[in-house]
């Protein structure tokens, strides 16, 4: 993998996007066919997380990929308040749990892994590779769109719902834009990993609502993430300050 990375960071990132997507499709569908919890998917995610963490820290790439604190003070991020609002979305209409303890644990662990993997792959590897090869503006656009449309993977699993998936693609694109701004301007990926992971995990408690409410919620997320991203572009200074 190190030789591939040295040869082409772009192909390195694409390779892991393919591994992540194909692995998810295979293991999710195996679980559905056998009517089993997604235990194999969870193990796949854990193994991939461990591999990438070892690769990143072994090669001293953690700062390059934002696995570090930001050099900017939290006030420049508006104290991350919009991120906490985003995290709470899945609890806006109450909370319920319909799975047993084991299934819930598997889901939560998997979602934490997904948050890490998608941020490292799409915001870390892909964005940095594109920035190097195409420049910052194309890198931001391509990274955001790729992350958003990457959620079309959900249509490739059995029993997929089209409307929720399309809405997810929409707000995932704008959230991807926000996260890439945090990473590029804020020099850290940790807030993105934290928000992404908690947001995914809390979907376990989501109460189903009607389609109209789903659409309104998706629009609110898109407005929130786009607005916050534009504010950060203005508020995060160019000079580096000592972190609090």
Give the Cα separation of 95 and 98 in Å (integer): 10
Indicate the domain borders of the chain: 2-235
Verdict on whether the full-model pTM lies above 0.75: yes
Q: How many CA atoms lie within 13 A of 123 on its CB side?
A: 32
pLDDT digits (tens, 9 = 90+) for 145-194: 888 877 666 655 545 577 777 888 889 999 999 999 999 999 999 999 99
173: exposed, middle or buried (Cβ count in 10 Å: 0-12, 13-18, 19+)? buried
Identify which of 145-154, 193-202, 211-220, 232-241 has the greatest average pLDDT.
193-202
Measured CA to CA, the distance from residue 133 to residue 127 in angstroms comes to 10
Hey, what are 152's tokens? Answer: 């079309």
């Amino acid at each position: 993998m190190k030789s591939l990375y040295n040869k082409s960071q772009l192909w390195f990132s694409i390779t892991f996007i393919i591994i992540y997507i194909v692995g998810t499709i295979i293991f999710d569908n195996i679980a559905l066919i056998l009517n089993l919890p997604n235990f194999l998917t969870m193990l796949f995610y854990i193994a991939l997380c461990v591999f990438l963490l070892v690769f990143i820290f072994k090669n001293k790439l953690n700062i390059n990929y934002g696995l570090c604190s930001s050099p900017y003070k939290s006030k420049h991020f508006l104290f991350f308040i919009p991120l906490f609002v985003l995290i709470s979305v899945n609890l806006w209409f109450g909370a319920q749990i319909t799975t047993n303890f084991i299934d819930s644990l598997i889901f939560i662990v998997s979602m934490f892994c997904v948050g890490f993997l998608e941020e490292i792959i799409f915001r870390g590897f892909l964005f940095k590779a594109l920035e190097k090869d195409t420049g910052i503006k194309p890198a931001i656009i391509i990274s955001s769109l790729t992350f958003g449309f990457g959620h079309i993977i959900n249509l490739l699993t059995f029993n997929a719902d089209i409307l929720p998936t399309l809405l997810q693609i929409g707000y995932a694109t704008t959230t991807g834009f926000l996260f890439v701004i945090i990473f590029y301007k804020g020099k850290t990926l940790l807030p993105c990993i934290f928000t992404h992971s908690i947001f995914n995990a809390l979907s376990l408690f989501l109460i189903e609502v009607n389609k109209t409410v789903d659409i309104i919620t998706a629009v609110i997320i898109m407005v929130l993430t786009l607005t916050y991203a534009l504010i950060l572009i203005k508020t995060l200074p160019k000079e580096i300050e000592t972190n609090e």
